[in-house]
Chain A
Amino acid sequence: MFHYKLSVAALALFSGAVVAAEVAVGSDDQRLQMFEQRLERFENELSVKVPASSANAFNPAIALILSGLYTNLSQSPEGYRIGGFALPEDSETGPGSRGFSLGESELVISSNIDPYLFGNLALVLTPEGEMELEEGYIQTIALSHGLSVKAGRLFSGIGYLNVQHPHAWDFVDAPLAYQTLLGGQYGDDGVQLKWLAPTETFVEIGVEAMRGSGFPASERDKNGSGAAAFFAHFGGDVGISNSWRAGLSMLSSVAQGREVSDVDLVDAEVTNSFSGDSRLWVADFVWKYAPSGNAAYSNFKLQGEYLHRNESGELTYDVGGSDNTAAYDAKQSGWYLQGIYQFMPSWRVGLRGERLNVGTLEYGANSANMAAPGFNPSKQSVMVDYRPSEFSRIRLQFTQDKSRQDLTDNQAFLQYHVSLGAHGGHQF
Chain B
Amino acid sequence: MKIFLVVLAMFVTALISANAAALNLFACEPEWGALAQELGGDRLSIYVATNAMQDPHQVQARPSLLAQARRANLMVCSGAELEAAWLPVVLRQAGNAAIQPGRSGYFEAASYVQRLGVATLLNRAAGDIHASGNPHIQTDPRNIARIAAALAQRLAEVDPANAEFYQTRYRDFATRWEVAIARWEKQATPLRGVVVVAHHSYFVYLDNWLGLKTVAQLEPKPGVQPTSAHLAGVQELLQRQPARMILRAPYNSERPSEWLSERAKIPAVMLPGTVGGSDQAKDLFGLFDDTVQRLLAALK
* A→B interface (CB under 8 Å): 41, 44-45, 47-48, 50-55, 115, 118, 139, 141-148, 194-204, 233-237, 240, 243-245, 288, 292-297, 345-346, 388-391, 420, 423, 425-428
Which residues from chain A contact B61 at a C-beta distance below 8 Å?
Answer: 425-428
**Residue B54 CB within 8 A of the other chain:** yes
Please determine whether B55 and A426 come into contact, CB atoms closer than 8 angstroms.
no
Please determine whether A236 and B64 come into contact, CB atoms closer than 8 angstroms.
yes
A44–B109 CA distance with the chains assembled, in angstroms: 11
**Residue B195 CB within 8 A of the other chain:** no
Closest 8 CB pairs of A and B: A235-B63, A202-B63, A425-B89, A292-B53, A146-B95, A296-B55, A53-B132, A202-B67
Query: What are 24 A-B pairs at a CB distance below 8 A?
Result: A45-B150, A54-B101, A118-B92, A141-B92, A144-B97, A146-B96, A148-B95, A194-B95, A195-B95, A196-B93, A198-B19, A198-B71, A202-B63, A202-B66, A235-B63, A292-B54, A293-B50, A293-B53, A296-B54, A345-B225, A425-B88, A426-B59, A426-B85, A428-B61
A425–B83 CA distance with the chains assembled, in angstroms: 9
Stretch of B36-44, B123-131, B182-190 lying at the A interface: B123-131
Per-residue 0/1 for B13-46: is the Cβ within 8 Å of any A Cβ (1 yes, 0 no)? 0110011000000000000000000000000000
Which residues from chain B contact A292 at a C-beta distance below 8 Å?
Answer: 51, 53-54
Please determine whether A425 and B253 come into contact, CB atoms closer than 8 angstroms.
no
Please determine whether A237 and B64 come into contact, CB atoms closer than 8 angstroms.
yes
Please determine whether A144 and B81 come into contact, CB atoms closer than 8 angstroms.
no
Please determine whether A294 and B55 come into contact, CB atoms closer than 8 angstroms.
yes
Total number of B residues with any Cβ neighbor in A under 8 Å: 62
Q: CB within 8 A of B94: which of A41, A48, A146, A389?
A: A146
A282 CB to nearest chain B CB (Å): 17
Please determine whether B153 and A243 come into contact, CB atoms closer than 8 angstroms.
no
Which residues from chain A contact B93 at a C-beta distance below 8 Å?
Answer: 148, 194, 196
**Residue B70 CB within 8 A of the other chain:** yes
| B 125-175 contacts with A by CB, 8 A | 127-128, 130-132, 146, 149-150, 153-154
Please determine whether A51 and B111 come into contact, CB atoms closer than 8 angstroms.
yes
**Residue B208 CB within 8 A of the other chain:** no
A147–B59 CA distance with the chains assembled, in angstroms: 24
Please determine whether A196 and B54 come into contact, CB atoms closer than 8 angstroms.
no
Q: CB within 8 A of A52: which of B64, B86, B110?
A: B110
Please determine whether A51 and B101 come into contact, CB atoms closer than 8 angstroms.
yes
Please determine whether B53 and A294 come into contact, CB atoms closer than 8 angstroms.
yes
Please determine whether B95 and A389 come into contact, CB atoms closer than 8 angstroms.
no
Which residues from chain A contact B14 at a C-beta distance below 8 Å?
Answer: 198-199
Please determine whether B150 and A196 come into contact, CB atoms closer than 8 angstroms.
no
Q: CB within 8 A of B60: which of A50, A197, A426?
A: A426
**Residue B91 CB within 8 A of the other chain:** yes
